[in-house]
Chain A
Amino acid sequence: MAETVAETAKSAHISSMRQFKAIMKKDIVMELRTKEMLTSMGLYAVLVLVVYQIALSQAGSSFDVLRIAAGLLWLAIIFTSLLGLNRSLVHEKDQGCLDALLLAPVDRPVIFFAKAIGNLLFLSIVVVIILPLFYFFFLAGKPLGGPLWMLPLPLIVGCIGIAGVGTLLATMSVNTNGKDLILPVLFIPVMFPLLYASVAATTAVLIGDPGYATVYWNSIALGAGYDAIMLLAAYGLYEFIIGA
């Protein structure tokens, strides 16, 4: 059966862009109708910021929150993304959509890219909401160490990795008994290097210590390297995951 699906897909190769668009459109339309993912992710992010306020409330005025700001920001992003990744695949699973997708003559990599880019899109929207809120709540009035244009790059590199690897791991975790309990256990250790690089790059821009540009570009390069290796691996392995 697998061969016939592959052959059909091959004969309709021109349309893989259309398949990709169709899956993306389905995700976006569903989100526009239910608004479930964006509201839950956005609310969750705000709640995390409230918890930060509690955590920092007794730190005293001599404590400079700027030094850990990048870490806090990434913490909010990683936990929010866990929520979103889970949602995005639980939908597929619960409503039998994934089975339907597998029955349709669609290339497996197309499913991967469409889901990953959909997740990237929602994650980016949430980050765009969190970022000003975070600045407003914790960093208001503090000068940025580095130039502002340097700030988006680590966010982009980080979010691409989160969405790509996260889509693979979330597809695995929704098919287990543990469901949303399993995803963090798999996700956080695998994400460790990328998070480390992203926090380093973001901290470099926020603080702007002497020599920050070197640390910044090193971290960006390493983060991008992680993205390249892991996305290739995820792209190659997704077919096995979705077929099992």
Chain B
Amino acid sequence: MTDTTVSQRRFLGIPGNTWTLILLGFGAVLTTIDFVLAFFYTPLVVGAQVAETRIINGIAVSNQLLFSQKIFYFHVPVAIGSFLVFFFTAYYGVRFLMTKEKKFDTRARIATEVTLLFVILTLITGDIWTRFEWGVWWVWEPRLTTYFIMTLLVVAYFVLRSSIEDEERRATYAAVFGIIAFLDAPISFAITRLIPSSVHPVVLRSGGGLTGTQLLAFLLGLFGMLMVAWVVYQVRLREELARERIEGLKAALEG
């Protein structure tokens, strides 16, 4: 078989190679810089006051310095990324319901796969933070709760898909559930945050303002992660489109 030309590729909806590679490079570089900055340059966040003044790194401090806060530069970009990708599940769900075109269903499914990856990363990094900040492995704190529920919603999306054989029905149901799930996630965050549980204190620091380096590291991490998310999405999409083509060809040969 000959190579597909660019116009053929466009027709088939297969995105080109170059941009994906460039973005992958950018994403990798930015997230690496983010890590380096986070661990070596950003100042430690000052936590609660401790009993006596101590000398850490040659500086007299009377407050606890939160090394565990470093996870912020990884955790928050991943969390924002997961939510942005989840938006595309709902977006392509709406597009599918409007057009009934299979390509939108494929895109919604892959967006949900990437969401699952990012949500699980958020949950793990959030949990590590909880462990070192509060000394327990799990707290039903609004953000962790929300991401736990989001994980369940995304898992439910795939359970639903796998239990329907008819292709069009599967796509329609998945689109509807994707939209419902996307609406549900922010509401569950709002409700767990606005109705604090009486057992555990809600520890949500109001953004005390990031210093220059902190903001820089955070933004680099954010853009880097978004690029990585985009690349994972594109690579999976291409794989899926190729698979669909092969199946189409197989069916044509057999038929």
Contact of A189 with B177 at beta-carbon distance under 8 Å, contacts A182-B163, A197-B191, A233-B183 already known: no
Cα–Cα distance between A185 and B177 once the two chains are bound (Å): 12
B188 interfacial by beta-carbon distance below 8 Å: yes
* Closest B residue by C-beta to A229: B183
- Set of chain B residues within 8 Å of A165, measured between Cβ atoms: 180
- Set of chain B residues within 8 Å of A225, measured between Cβ atoms: 187
- Set of chain B residues within 8 Å of A186, measured between Cβ atoms: 156, 159-160, 177
A145-190 with Cβ < 8 A to chain B:
165, 168-169, 172, 175-178, 182, 185-186, 188-190
User: B155, B176, B184, B191: which contacts A172 (Cβ < 8 A)?
Assistant: B176
Q: How large is the interface on B (under 10, 10 to 19, 20 to 34, 35 or more residues)?
A: 20 to 34
A237 interfacial by beta-carbon distance below 8 Å: yes
* Closest B residue by C-beta to A215: B195
A117 interfacial by beta-carbon distance below 8 Å: no
| Chief secondary structure at chain B's binding surface | helix
The total of interchain contacts (Cβ-Cβ below 8 angstroms) comes to: 95
- Interface flags, B161-184, vs A, CB<8A=1, else 0: 001110011001101110111011
User: B153, B192, B198: which contacts A190 (Cβ < 8 A)?
Assistant: B153
Cα–Cα distance between A218 and B149 once the two chains are bound (Å): 22
Contact of A237 with B176 at beta-carbon distance under 8 Å, contacts A189-B156, A190-B181 already known: yes
Contact of A230 with B183 at beta-carbon distance under 8 Å, contacts A192-B149, A222-B195, A244-B169 already known: yes
Q: Are B183 and A172 in contact (CB under 8 A)?
A: no
B29 interfacial by beta-carbon distance below 8 Å: no
B56 interfacial by beta-carbon distance below 8 Å: no
Contact of A175 with B169 at beta-carbon distance under 8 Å, contacts A185-B159, A186-B160, A189-B153 already known: yes
Q: Are B164 and A189 in contact (CB under 8 A)?
A: no
7 contacts between A and B (CB under 8 A): A178-B163, A189-B152, A190-B153, A196-B188, A226-B191, A229-B183, A237-B179
Residues of chain A whose beta carbon lies under 8 Å from any beta carbon of chain B: 165, 168-169, 172, 175-178, 182, 185-186, 188-190, 192-193, 196-197, 200, 209, 215, 218-219, 222, 225-226, 229-230, 233-234, 237, 240-241, 243-244
**A-B interface, 6 closest residue pairs, ranked by CB to CB distance from nearest:** A244-B172, A189-B152, A176-B163, A178-B163, A193-B188, A193-B191
